[in-house]
Structure 1
Amino acid sequence: MKTLKYILLFILGVGLFSSCLIEDETNLDLNSEGPNLGGFELARTTFAAIADGEENIFDVKVKVFGPTWMDINSDVTLTIEADPASTAIAGTHYRIDNPTITLSPSQNLLGLFKVTMLTEGIETPLAKSPVLILRVKEASGANNVLNSGKTISITFNYACPSFLDGTYNVTMSRDGGAPVTWTETITKTGIGEYRTQR
Structure 2
Amino acid sequence: MKKILKYTFVIGLVSLMFTACKKEYQTYKGPTVVEFSPAIKSRPQGTVVAPGYDSVKVQLVGPQRSSDLELSYTIDPKSTAVEGTHYNIPKLGTLTLPANSSFGYIRVNLVPGSIPNNQTASQKKLIFNLTGNSEVPASVNYKTYTLTITF
Tell me, yes or no, if structure 1 residue 61 matches structure 2 residue 57. yes
Shift of 1:86: 1.0
Question: What does 1:142-157 correspond to in 2, within 5 Å?
Answer: 143=135, 145-149=136-140, 150-157=143-150
User: Which position in structure 2 is the counterpart of 1:26?
Assistant: none
Query: Paired residue for 1:128, among 104, 122, 126?
Result: 122
Normalised to the residue count of structure 1, the TM-score between the two structures is 0.50
Distance in 1, Cα, partners of 2:97 & 2:102: 5
User: Which position in structure 2 is the counterpart of 1:179?
Assistant: none
Write out the 4+ residue segments of structure 1 that deviate beyond 4 Å after TM superposition: none
Tell me, yes or no, if structure 1 residue 114 matches structure 2 residue 107. yes
Alpha-carbon contact 1:81-1:135 (below 8 Å) kept: yes
Residues 40 and 83 (structure 1 numbering): CA distance in 2 closer, same or farther, change over 3 Å? same
Residues 101 and 151 (structure 1 numbering): CA distance in 2 closer, same or farther, change over 3 Å? same
Tell me, yes or no, if structure 1 residue 102 matches structure 2 residue 96. yes
Alpha-carbon contact 2:116-2:122 (below 8 Å) kept: no
List alignment gaps of at least 5 residues for structure 2.
Answer: 1-27, 39-43
User: Which position in structure 1 is the counterpart of 2:4?
Assistant: none
Normalised to the residue count of structure 2, the TM-score between the two structures is 0.64
What SS does structure 1 have at the residue aligned with 2:56?
strand
Corresponding letter in the other structure for 1:35: P
Query: Paired residue for 2:33, among 33, 37, 42?
Result: 37
Corresponding letter in the other structure for 1:48: V
- Report how many aligned residue pairs link the two structures: 115
Per chain length, whose mean CA-contact separation is higher, i.e. which structure has more relative contact order (CA < 8 Å, sep 6+)?
2
List alignment gaps of at least 5 residues for structure 1.
Answer: 1-30, 51-55, 159-198
RMSD over aligned CA atoms reads 2.4
Alpha-carbon contact 2:115-2:123 (below 8 Å) kept: no
Shift of 1:120: 4.0
Alpha-carbon contact 1:134-1:153 (below 8 Å) kept: yes
Alpha-carbon contact 1:38-1:139 (below 8 Å) kept: no
User: Which position in structure 2 is the counterpart of 1:139?
Assistant: 133
Distance in 2, Cα, partners of 1:35 & 1:147: 11
Deviations 1:128-162 (Å, cap 9, x if unpaired)? 3111111213325xx3x11225211111111xxxx
Tell me, yes or no, if structure 1 residue 89 matches structure 2 residue 82. yes
Distance in 2, Cα, partners of 1:110 & 1:81: 18
Query: Rg bigger for which structure?
Result: 1
Corresponding letter in the other structure for 2:47: T
